[in-house]
Chain A
Amino acid sequence: MAVAARQSKAPAPSKAAAKPAKARSAKEGAGQAAPAPSNVTPFTKDEDLHAYREMLLIRRFEEKAGQMYGMGLIGGFCHLYIGQEAVVIGMQMAAKEGDQVITGYRDHGHMLACGMESRGVMAELTGRRGGYSRGKGGSMHMFSREKNFFGGHGIVGAQVSLGTGLGFANWYRGDNTVSMTYFGDGAANQGQVYESFNMAELWKLPVVFVIENNRYAMGTAVNRASAQTDFSRRGVSFNIPGEQVDGMDVRAVREAGQRAIAHARSGKGPYILEMQTYRYRGHSMSDPAKYRSKDEVQRMREEHDPIEQVRARLIREFKVAEDELKAIDAKVREIVNDAAEFATHDPEPDASELYTDILLEPAQG
């Protein structure tokens, strides 16, 4: 019960974002925002176990990536997803096979959630030939046509138009799939987002816009960059429906995701989900993190951790034994360690790869 009560709170307002966060909760009182978790459809034991395992895989993978960056095995930028795991896992639980995913550079979690191999993702982080882009893309630019993961994009906001284009292709083919287009609270201010919103609604494209509001864009708190901090309303002038969702509760994410995806799939056009979430780590590996207090981060971890919520439920409501959870933990660690091992020893790409993959040969005849 105590757990449920805690979950009913939206992520606590940060000091920096105090004002708009309060305004938001006032609206929540008026029944406009995230549905109260008490109304959230509960997970079955199997669903909770699935969510637990999947989120834990992302968490452990990202922790390992952070360590490997520190060891100099990973270079460049490396943006970790720790804290936001419930968003992509909840959405994938709502999606069906064939739906596409596209996101920005904070993409490791999305790839794992799409079923991409830990080894291939980690080897791309280390720039090795076994990586998903054969070492040429790195952390921010990875793709898997097989798993319908369209990247992995380094330019903030660009993926929003691209994701809308995926939706366009779905509409064009009439193949009943939905494009799940993820972007951050910072990206949500880019102009092309609104150009895309307009066309998506105008042409009723099957796109779910998932705004991962983790409260900061690098060092800029949402209220310092956004005139409208209720991102679920960013589609209002285009008549796109939107919801604010407790993005730390995987059940709330899945339920909202099901609504949004059903809307998009049925030909009614795009849908906006503002996932209220939080990143525990710095923006990338070199972030002085002076823009928020340690307390704020600590409070989020202790009171809203997406994985702990599920873990507590599994123990208290489904009476899952600690040992069973430990076994899952061990299995996940094994996968991650194997990936790290592979990514450390896999060779770098052959030098001849420098000049491949620039253009394709046109088909003959």
Chain B
Amino acid sequence: MPIDILMPALSPTMEEGKLAKWLKKEGDQVKAGDIIAEIETDKATMEVEAVDEGVLAKILVPDGSENVAVNTPIGIIAAEGEDVSAAAAADPAKINPAAPAPAAEAPRQEAAAPTAPAEEAPAAGKPASVPAQAKAYDASSEFPAGAEIVSMTVREALRDAMAEEMRRDQDVFVMGEEVAEYQGAYKVTQGLLQEFGAKRVIDTPITEHGFAGIGVGAALSGLKPIVEFMTFNFAMQAIDQIINSAAKTLYMSGGQMGCPIVFRGPNGAAARVAAQHSHDYAAWYSNVPGLKVVMPYSASDAKGLLKSAIRDPNPVIFLENEIMYGKSFDVPKGDDFLVPIGKAKVVRPGADVTIVSFGIGMTHALGAAEALAQEGIDAEVIDLRTIRPMDIETVIASVQKTHRCVAVEEGFPQSGVTAEIGMRIMEAAFDYLDAPVARVTGKDVPMPYAANLEKLALPNVGEVVAAAKAVCYR
């Protein structure tokens, strides 16, 4: 079977070039690897090697031809004794129908078509596929029926979630700075070393980029690491492994390489620790396909969501908050309590205005709802719980009822999570709104150290109340 020699590309962007010179004549014997021609572009020169052995049956494009398109047949190699005249006479395109069409652009356009699954972000510019009457997720049955309810801190809930999952699955292990002997810089891993031993509760050196990568590698091979960052500020050292390795490998491997890993630790402002230790990364990670991003507020959500995160076959960014660690909430007893990732929760039903937040932002949202009740405004408060995938439908269902929305976060305003919430509401429920969506965020400044400035930099109940009144025109 005669084989086409195609005009090769010297670089990913090359579209055409010059066939400078043939180094073999028609009728010459060629072996695989023999250099048969030279081609040129304005940037470089390259030698063309024969890919098979046989006879150079026909030269289709002569020496010195300019503007030869990549993938054009430039010659034909035939087997010894083969009827080269027939090959030479044939239409090049028919001789080698398998020659790839120069259609690299085509699939890219297709990918932009609005075929995104309902839960994921709709393609740019396309309205979200939220039904005309959205349905809120019903979290009322999350607590198992008849389960004993105990009060525990967020810290204890996180610890129990890890301990239960480590008992259940030998592949789960914890690594991070000071997680073992010191019992956790914030005591979240208290007692784990004693119960599970040093092989499964591992103190690392201060080498975030390295141990995050080691965690991702272990996850690619099937283990289920929980990587603790002492705070998410330090995950900045490791963010390349989180984004480029953990988030993208499943896609790049065509679905072969799942990465079941949890990156967790305190996120956002603590108290008076200034700009390098106070950053809220919710919006950052929420920007990345291939990650799930969870940011619980209550202890029960912390527990139920962390257990789901550990069982999840995907990389999950689990954002905690130092100030919340010591706060107590009702939590159902028992190992089988799970909270699904990707579902928001209506924590306070109301009719007049929707306040949506997540993580520590919920303290401002709930505080504002109380204060607004005093003034006769009945706020519905939604805890997003998961940032990505975002349960916008529960928010929309609420907005269809209240027609007003205030979104609250401690992070920065530009490209923040509340910016996303506002946009998604506009895309899906613009006609339901009686006022523009308002947001209350951290101020657009690095976190200052001084006590008075730090207070000004963070959102507070008063700002949420004011925003709620503004959207109610009160």
B64 at the interface (CB under 8 A from A): no
A138-B272, A187-B206, A348-B451 as given contacts; A358 in contact with B446, CB under 8 Å: yes
**A37 proximal to B (CB < 8 A):** no
Query: Which residues of chain B are within 8 angstroms of A156 by Cβ–Cβ distance?
Result: 206, 234
A274 to B456, CA, bound (A): 43
- Specify which chain A residues have a CB less than 8 angstroms from the CB of B177 in the assembled complex: 218, 220
Tell me whether B276 and A218 are in contact (CB under 8 A).
Answer: no
Point out the residue from B181, B452, B457 that lies within 8 Å of A219, measured CB to CB.
Answer: B181
Residues 325-364 of B contacting A (Cβ, < 8 Å): none
- With A155-B237, A354-B456 known as contacts, the answer to whether A220 contacts B185 (CB < 8 A) is no
Is residue A25 within 8 Å, beta carbon to beta carbon, of the partner chain?
no
Given contacts A76-B274, A141-B275, A291-B182, contact A136 B448 (CB under 8 A): yes
Tell me the bound Cα distance from A77 to B276 in angstroms: 12
- B323 contacts the other chain (CB 8 A): no
Bound CA span A186–B207, Å:
9
B205 touches A136 (CB 8 A): no
A218-B182, A220-B178 are known contacts. Are A351 and B275 too (CB-CB below 8 A)? no
Choose among B185, B204, B234, B273 the residue that contacts A218 (Cβ–Cβ < 8 A).
B185
A217 at the interface (CB under 8 A from B): yes
A331-359 at interface with B (beta carbon < 8 Å): 348-349, 351, 353-355, 358
Interface centre among B443, B445, B457 (most CB of A within 10 A): B445
Among candidates B206, B274, B443, residue contacting A217 with C-beta atoms closer than 8 Å: B206
The answer to whether the Cβ of B271 comes within 8 Å of any Cβ in the partner chain is yes
B18 an interface residue at 8 Å Cβ cutoff? no
**Which B residue's beta carbon lies closest to that of A128?**
B450
Instruction: Report if B398 contacts A (CB, 8 A).
Output: no
In the assembled complex, 22 residue pairs joining A and B whose CB atoms fall closer than 8 Å, in A order, are: A76-B270, A76-B273, A138-B274, A141-B275, A141-B276, A154-B274, A155-B236, A186-B205, A189-B205, A190-B209, A190-B237, A191-B209, A218-B177, A219-B181, A220-B182, A220-B205, A351-B453, A351-B456, A353-B448, A354-B456, A355-B445, A358-B446
Residues of A within 8 A of B (CB): 75-77, 124, 127-128, 133, 135-138, 140-141, 153-157, 186-187, 189-192, 217-220, 224-226, 290-291, 348-349, 351, 353-355, 358
Q: A141 contacts B207, CB within 8 Å?
A: no
Q: Separation in Å of the B413 CB from the closest CB of chain A?
A: 13
Kindly list 14 other residue pairs between chains A and B, CB separation below 8 angstroms, not including A155-B236, A155-B237.
A76-B271, A76-B272, A76-B277, A127-B453, A136-B275, A136-B450, A187-B206, A190-B206, A226-B205, A290-B182, A291-B182, A348-B450, A354-B457, A355-B445
Residues of B within 8 A of A (CB): 177-178, 181-182, 185, 203-207, 209-210, 233-234, 236-237, 270-277, 443-446, 448-453, 456-457
Residues in chain B near residue A219, CB distance under 8 A? 178, 181-182
User: CA–CA, A355 to B443, complex, Å?
Assistant: 9
Assembly CA distance A356 to B444 (angstroms): 11
Docked complex Cα distance between A137 and B278 (Å): 12
Please give me the residue from chain A that is nearest to B273 by CB atom: A76
Q: Which residues of B have CB within 8 Å of A137?
A: 274-275, 449
Instruction: Establish whether residues B274 and A140, one from each chain, have CB atoms under 8 Å apart when the complex forms.
Output: yes
| A136 touching B453 in the complex, CB below 8 Å, given contacts A218-B178, A218-B182, A220-B178 | yes
Which residues of the other chain, A, contact B451 by a CB distance below 8 angstroms?
75, 127, 348
Query: How many angstroms from the CA of A76 to the CA of B185 in the assembled complex?
Result: 15
**Which residue from A77, A217, A354 sits with its C-beta under 8 Å from B277?**
A77
| Shortest Cβ distance from B447 into A: residue | A136
Q: In the assembled complex, which residues on chain B have CB atoms less than 8 Å from the CB atom of A217? A: 205-206
Complex Cα distance A218/B445, Å? Answer: 30
In the complex, are the beta carbons of B206 and A354 less than 8 A apart?
A: no
Of chain A, the residue at the smallest CB distance from B277 is: A154
Q: Nearest Cβ in chain B — how far from A17, in angstroms? A: 14
Q: How far is the CA of A220 from the CA of B176 in the complex (A)?
A: 12
| Given A155-B237, A219-B182, also A224-B449 (CB < 8 A) | no
> Which residue of A133, A191, A220 contacts B210 across the interface (Cβ within 8 Å)?
A191
**Contacts known (A141-B276, A154-B274, A218-B177); A135 close to B209, Cβ less than 8 A:** no
What's the least CB distance linking B234 to chain A, in Å? 7
Residues of A close to B274: CB separation below 8 A: 76, 136-138, 140-141, 154
Chain B residues within 8 Å of A154, by CB: 233, 273-274, 276-277
Residues of chain A within 8 A of B203, CB atoms compared: 220, 224-225
With A189-B206, A218-B178, A224-B203 given, is the CB distance from A349 to B452 under 8 Å? yes
Residue contact A141 to B449, C-beta cutoff 8 Å: yes
Q: Tell me, rounded to whole Å, the shortest Cβ–Cβ distance linking A348 to chain B.
A: 4
The answer to whether B445 touches A354 (Cβ under 8 A) is yes
B276 touches A190 (CB 8 A): no
- CB contacts (< 8 Å) of B272 on chain A: these are 75-76, 127, 138
Inter-chain contact B450/A127, CB cutoff 8 Å: yes
Q: Is the Cβ of A75 less than 8 Å from the Cβ of B206?
A: no
Q: A191 contacts which chain B residues (CB < 8 A)?
A: 207, 209-210, 237
Do residues B233 and A225 form an inter-chain contact, with CB atoms below 8 A? no
Considering residues A187, A354, A358, which has the most beta carbons from chain B within 10 angstroms of its beta carbon?
A354
Q: A76 vs B231: C-alpha distance in the bound complex, in angstroms?
A: 14
Contacts of A290 in B (CB 8 A): 182
Residue of B nearest to A351 (CB): B456
The distance from the CB of B279 to the nearest CB of chain A, in whole angstroms, is 11
Contact of B205 among A135, A138, A153, A225 (CB under 8 A): A225
B209 — nearest CB in chain A belongs to which residue? A191
The chain A residue sitting closest to B187, CB to CB, is A288
Name the A residues within 8 Å of B233 (CB-CB): 154-155
Q: CB-CB < 8 A to B457: which residues of A?
A: 354
Alpha-carbon distance A257/B216, docked complex (angstroms): 42
B452 contact set on A, CB distance < 8 A: 348-349, 351
A217 to B444, CA, bound (A): 33
Q: Which residues of A contact B271 (CB under 8 A)?
A: 75-76
- In the assembly, what is the distance between CA of A352 and CA of B137, in Å? 43
Chain B's closest residue to A75 (CB) is: B272
User: What residue in chain B is nearest A287 (Cβ atoms)?
Assistant: B182
Among residues of B, the one whose C-beta sits closest to the C-beta of A189 is B205
**Nearest neighbor of B182 in chain A, beta-carbon distance:** A219
Complex Cα distance, B204 from A226, in Å, reads 10
Chain A residue at minimal CB-CB distance from B204: A225
- Determine if A76 and B456 form an interchain contact, defined as CB atoms under 8 angstroms apart: no
Residues of B within 8 A of A190 (CB): 206-207, 209, 237
The interface residues of chain A lying within 8 Å CB-to-CB of B234 are: 155-156
Complex CA gap A122/B21 in Å reads 77
Minimal beta-carbon separation of A110 from chain B (angstroms):
17
* 10 tightest Cβ-Cβ pairs between the two chains A and B: A138-B449, A75-B272, A76-B272, A135-B450, A154-B276, A127-B450, A219-B182, A225-B205, A189-B205, A76-B273
Residues of A within 8 A of B275 (CB): 136-137, 141
Query: Measured between alpha carbons, how far is A153 from B453 in the docked complex, in Å?
Result: 20
Instruction: Give the complex CA separation of A354 and B453 in angstroms.
Output: 6
**Whole-angstrom distance between the alpha carbons of A192 and B207 in the complex?**
9
Select the residue from B182, B203, B274 with max chain A CB neighbours within 10 A: B274
B209: chain A residues within 8 A (beta carbon): 190-191
Docked Cα-Cα span, A132 to B449, in Å, equals 12
Q: What's the least CB distance linking A247 to chain B, in Å?
A: 20
A192 cross-chain contacts in B, Cβ below 8 A? 237
Measured CB to CB, the nearest residue on chain A to B443 is A354
Chain B residues contacting A138 (CB-CB under 8 Å) are 272-274, 449-450
